[in-house]
């Protein structure tokens, strides 16, 4: 099963959930996260969101994250789909799904991958608002989220 | 030695998608960044100390102490904001 896909097109959440446990009788829990484009950011309407990435590094980075998550949480399967290009409010951006024997590991594994992705995968968002376009700033809160897993990141730091 | 330098997001908008940079000798990522910033103008504006710049060496997120060798691919970009 392909684990990482970077694509312009939308994804089918139902089909991804099915694929995560298809043919594996040991799976008792599938957890998935979908990130979407907010129509407002800090009170300002967001008309469009453009996503840029670093082809090659993006896939390698996310594959490496999955290699860490699978043994750590005992995952049976993991899947990450991230969209790039021009998106509109309400569109799907990202899918992270994992399968495990029990729900605890599945919830944790999914959140771990998402926290990792936010701070380590080379994606950049640019918003279009009525006042023009602007690059979205990294958030220190995302580094703090990763720190809960014993992983350090200074992505959102000032320098 | 020749280094393939790439820029992304706001740095790409300021400096273009990338370039080949000639360096006299093996250097660290920090040294390469400083040499580029020393060109002045837009390079200084986006790469100077105090600007939030992240770097990758051969497509792996790396800190400025990482050693760059001939033929390396180096990328400079702002903090990442995916997900």
- Residue to mutate among A56, A64, A122, with most B CBs inside 10 A, is A122
The reply to whether A96 falls in a domain is yes
Tens of pLDDT, residues A64-93: 999 999 999 999 999 999 999 999 999 999
**pLDDT recorded at residue A158:** 63
Q: What interface predicted TM-score (ipTM) does this complex get? A: 0.94
**pLDDT recorded at residue A154:** 82
Residues 6+ apart with CB under 8 A from B77: A54, A122, A124, B7, B8, B9, B11, B12, B53, B54, B55, B56
| Position A156 confidence tier, pLDDT thresholds 50, 70, 90 | confident
Q: Is the pLDDT of residue B43 over 90?
A: yes
| Position A152 confidence tier, pLDDT thresholds 50, 70, 90 | confident
- Distance of alpha carbon A7 from the chain centroid: 13
Tens of pLDDT, residues A120-150: 999 999 999 999 999 999 988 999 999 999 9
Helix, coil or strand: residue B38: coil
Pick the CATH number of B2-77 from 3.90.320.10, 3.10.20.30, 2.40.10.10, 3.40.1080.20: 3.10.20.30
Q: Could you give the CA distance from residue A7 to residue A24 in angstroms, rounded to a whole number?
A: 27
The reply to whether A107 falls in a domain is yes
Pairing mode, strands A44-45 and A40-41: antiparallel
Is the distance from CB of A15 to CB of A88 less than 8 angstroms? no
The reply to whether A153 falls in a domain is no
Q: Could you give the CA distance from residue A70 to residue A148 in angstroms, rounded to a whole number?
A: 18
Chain A touched by B64 (CB under 8 Å): no
Domain count, chain A: 1
**pLDDT recorded at residue B26:** 82
The reply to whether A25 falls in a domain is yes
The reply to whether A131 falls in a domain is yes
Q: Is the pLDDT of residue A44 over 90?
A: no
Using CA coordinates, name the residue in chain A closest to B82: A123
Contact B80 A135 (CB under 8 A): no
**pLDDT recorded at residue B29:** 96
Which of B82, B53, B62, B46 lies closest to A139, judged by CA? Answer: B82
**pLDDT recorded at residue B73:** 98
Stretch B44-73: mean pLDDT, rounded? 95
Full domain range(s) for residue A110: 4-147
Stretch A115-119: mean pLDDT, rounded? 95
**pLDDT recorded at residue B7:** 98
Q: Could you give the CA distance from residue A14 to residue A17 in angstroms, rounded to a whole number?
A: 5
Q: Domain residue spans in chain B?
A: 2-77
Q: Is the pLDDT of residue A58 over 60?
A: yes
Using CA coordinates, name the residue in chain B closest to A96: B83
The reply to whether A65 falls in a domain is yes
Average pLDDT across chain B, whole number? 95
Looking at residue A70, which CATH number applies to its domain? 3.90.1170.40
**pLDDT recorded at residue A3:** 98
Chain A touched by B59 (CB under 8 Å): yes
Stretch A104-110: mean pLDDT, rounded? 98
**pLDDT recorded at residue A159:** 54
């Amino acid at each position: 099963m392909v684990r990482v896909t970077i694509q312009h097109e939308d994804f089918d959440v139902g089909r991804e959930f099915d694929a995560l446990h298809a043919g594996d009788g040991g799976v008792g829990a599938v957890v998935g996260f979908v990130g979407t484009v907010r129509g407002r950011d800090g009170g300002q309407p967001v008309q469009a969101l453009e996503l840029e990435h670093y082809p090659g590094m993006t896939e390698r980075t996310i594959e490496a994250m999955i290699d860490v998550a699978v043994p750590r949480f005992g995952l049976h399967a993991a899947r990450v789909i991230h969209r790039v290009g021009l998106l509109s409010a309400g569109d799907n951006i990202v899918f992270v799904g994992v399968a495990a024997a029990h729900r605890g590991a599945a919830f944790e594994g999914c959140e771990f991958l998402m926290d990792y992705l936010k701070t380590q995968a080379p994606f950049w968002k640019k918003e279009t608002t009525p006042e023009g376009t602007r690059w979205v700033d990294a958030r220190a809160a995302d580094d703090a989220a990763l720190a809960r897993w014993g992983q350090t990141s200074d992505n959102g730091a000032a320098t | 030695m020749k280094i393939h330098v790439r820029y992304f997001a706001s740095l790409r908008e300021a400096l273009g998608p990338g370039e080949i940079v000639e360096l006299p000798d093996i250097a660290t990522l920090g040294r390469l960044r400083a040499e580029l910033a020393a060109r002045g103008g837009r390079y200084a504006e986006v790469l100077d100390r105090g600007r939030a710049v992240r770097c990758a060496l051969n497509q792996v997120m790396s800190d400025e102490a990482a050693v760059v060798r001939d033929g390396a691919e180096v990328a400079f970009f702002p903090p990442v904001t995916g997900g």
